[in-house]
């Protein structure tokens, strides 16, 4: 009985097509042409091969591949690309998505089950996308007595802060969004924002469980921030700089973890606490306080907080790599580009396309990125692993650990660094 289109009429079909054409033309003339004019007259275009990039020139790259590479390179040099795509948000989000997938699969294997399996045919690789779609399509429920502006702002602020953290991480030589001379101080400043956001969201939800969770998060983050900062001072003492790129560059022959293992361990533990990972996931302890400070978040607000959490996870792991594992440093494993590719281009099938200046990235950059990603993934793996092994710790034990043990160990680490410095072994003007 059922027909797909019971009232189909050819005339109406044609009319709908004409309608679409009309609206397209209208919107294009109203918005598209002014946009082109705006770009032409108000935005400074890059100079490529001695020519100013005009819209005409920009459109020719569709026809001539040899022109596309310089335009791409010019685009990659902009801040927008760095922030949105490569060393910044996009790259980090991609790694974070991979982390979520790996976490779920690894945990499943540890626990003798399958994990995500159906979504995306191959081992549930698209599960995360499905989850994201579900979160987007869900209703956002806000408690009646919540402080609405703050409550709305909290997840956004959380993601923004996590993204700010991402911006400080140098991925490859020269590839960092914000190359600051006070890089490490900036990191501390950004980390200091998280407890504020947490307590703001917990308070604004006007509900008991988020409140307790927020207070717990505050305790935890504040008490672990001190050993975290202290444990990094050893590296600063030995390198004499706060710039993260310079710290990375200083580890070209050996990573600092060799000389400062105690600092690395303390930093790793405080990192777990700052990330609210098991065994330190007290602010989200579901059997005690439901979901802690996330209890009242629903729909994509919760999704944003999760995104922020995993960005934070990536950033902390990357910070560990940069400070203790030598960042992008590593033996050259990327094969050198053949000379003819750089000068002449590559053959694509029957056509030999001319791509002058083809390697968009340099060999060092690719090699550094590979090493950086490998190390970061390793650290992330170790951050994920305790989830399958440990139960949750208790608040008093956590504070005891933070204030008594870790601070003491961090000081030991500083004394080791000072000893190495004054013995003249390491540091500026040292033997090594």
Partner 1 sequence: MSSPTLPPGLAIQKADERIMTLNVGPQHPGSGHMRIIVQIDGDYIVACDPDPGYVHRGEEKMAEYRNYTLNVPHLERPVIHDSCNILYPYVLAAEELLGLEIPERAKYIRVIASELNRCIYTQYWLAIYGIFLGHSTMFMWPAGDRELLIDLMEKMTGARVTHSYFIPGGIRNDLPANFEDVCLRQVNYFEKRIKEYADVFYNNPILISRTEKTGVLTRENAIKLGTTGSVLRASGVDYDVRKKEPYDVYDELDFETNVMKDGDSYARSRIPWLDMMESCRIIRNALQKMPKSGSVRVKLKPNPKGELGSVYKRIESGRGALGCYIVSDKKVEPYRVKLSVPSFRNLIALPHLLIGEKLGNMPSVYWSLNYWPVEADR
Binding site for partner 1 (CB under 8 A): 107, 110-113, 208-209, 212, 278-279, 281-282, 285-290, 387-397
Could you give the CA distance from residue 46 to residue 78 in angstroms, rounded to a whole number?
10
Nearer to partner 1, 284 or 329 (CB): 284
Task: Output the six-digit token pair for 267.
Answer: 């930093």
Could you give the CA distance from residue 168 to residue 95 in angstroms, rounded to a whole number?
16
How many residues does the structure list for the chain? 432
CB of 199 to partner 1, least distance (A): 16
Nearer to partner 1, 157 or 199 (CB): 199
**Interior angle at CA 287, CA 315 and CA 388, nearest 5:** 50
Nearer to partner 1, 139 or 396 (CB): 396
DSSP characters for 73-126? HHHHTSHHHHHHTSSSHHHHHHHHHHHHHHHHHHHHHHTTS--S-STTSSTTTT
Per the CB < 8 A criterion, the answer to whether 297 and 149 are in contact is no
CB of 391 to partner 1, least distance (A): 4
CB of 290 to partner 1, least distance (A): 6
Per the CB < 8 A criterion, the answer to whether 195 and 217 are in contact is yes
Per the CB < 8 A criterion, the answer to whether 296 and 143 are in contact is yes
CB of 412 to partner 1, least distance (A): 22
Could you give the CA distance from residue 275 to residue 162 in angstroms, rounded to a whole number?
11
Nearer to partner 1, 278 or 305 (CB): 278
Nearer to partner 1, 196 or 397 (CB): 397
CB of 14 to partner 1, least distance (A): 56
Nearer to partner 1, 73 or 387 (CB): 387
CB of 389 to partner 1, least distance (A): 7
Nearer to partner 1, 73 or 392 (CB): 392
CA distances from 386 to 103, 221, 235, 389 (A): 11, 19, 26, 5
Could you give the CA distance from residue 327 to residue 321 in angstroms, rounded to a whole number?
5
CB of 5 to partner 1, least distance (A): 46
């Amino acid at each position: 009985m059922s027909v797909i289109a019971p009232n189909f009429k050819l005339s109406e079909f044609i009319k709908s097509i004409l309608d679409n054409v009309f609206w397209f033309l209208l919107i294009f003339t109203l918005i598209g042409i002014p946009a082109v004019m705006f770009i032409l007259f108000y935005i400074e275009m890059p100079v490529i091969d001695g020519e100013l990039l005009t819209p005409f020139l920009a459109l020719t790259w569709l026809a001539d591949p040899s022109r596309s590479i310089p335009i791409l390179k010019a685009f990659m040099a902009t801040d927008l690309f760095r922030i949105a795509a490569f060393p910044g948000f996009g790259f980090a989000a991609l790694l974070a998505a991979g982390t979520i997938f790996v976490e779920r699969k690894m945990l499943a294997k540890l626990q003798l089950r399958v994990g995500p399996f159906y979504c995306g045919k191959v081992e549930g690789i698209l599960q995360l996308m499905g989850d994201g779609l579900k979160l987007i399509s869900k209703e956002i429920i806000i408690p009646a007595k919540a402080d609405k502006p703050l409550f709305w702002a909290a997840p956004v602020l959380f993601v923004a802060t996590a993204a700010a953290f991402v911006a400080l991480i140098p991925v490859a030589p020269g590839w960092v969004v914000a190359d600051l001379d006070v890089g490490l101080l900036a990191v501390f400043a950004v980390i200091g924002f998280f407890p504020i956001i947490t307590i703001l969201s917990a308070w604004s939800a006007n509900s008991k469980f988020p409140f307790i969770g927020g207070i717990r998060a505050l305790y935890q983050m504040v008490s672990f921030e001190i050993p975290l900062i202290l444990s990094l001072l050893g590296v600063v003492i030995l390198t004499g700089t706060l710039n993260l790129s310079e710290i990375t560059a200083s580890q070209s022959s050996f990573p600092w973890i060799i000389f400062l293992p105690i600092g690395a361990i303390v930093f790793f533990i405080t990192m777990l606490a700052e990330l609210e990972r098991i065994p330190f996931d007290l602010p989200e302890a579901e059997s005690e306080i439901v979901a802690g400070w996330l209890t009242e978040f629903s729909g994509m607000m919760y999704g944003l907080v999760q995104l922020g959490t995993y960005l934070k996870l990536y950033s902390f792991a990357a910070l560990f790599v940069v400070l203790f594992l030598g960042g992008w440093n590593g033996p050259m494993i990327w094969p050198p580009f053949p000379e003819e590719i750089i000068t002449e281009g590559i053959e694509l099938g029957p056509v030999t396309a001319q791509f002058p200046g083809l390697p968009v990235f340099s060999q060092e950059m690719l090699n550094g990125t590979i090493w950086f990603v490998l190390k970061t993934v390793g650290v992330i793996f170790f951050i994920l692993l305790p989830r399958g092994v440990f139960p949750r710790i208790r608040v008093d034990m956590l504070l005891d650990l933070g204030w008594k043990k870790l601070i003491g160990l961090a000081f030991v680490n500083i004394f080791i660094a000072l000893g190495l410095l004054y013995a003249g072994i390491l540091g500026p003007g040292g033997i090594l």
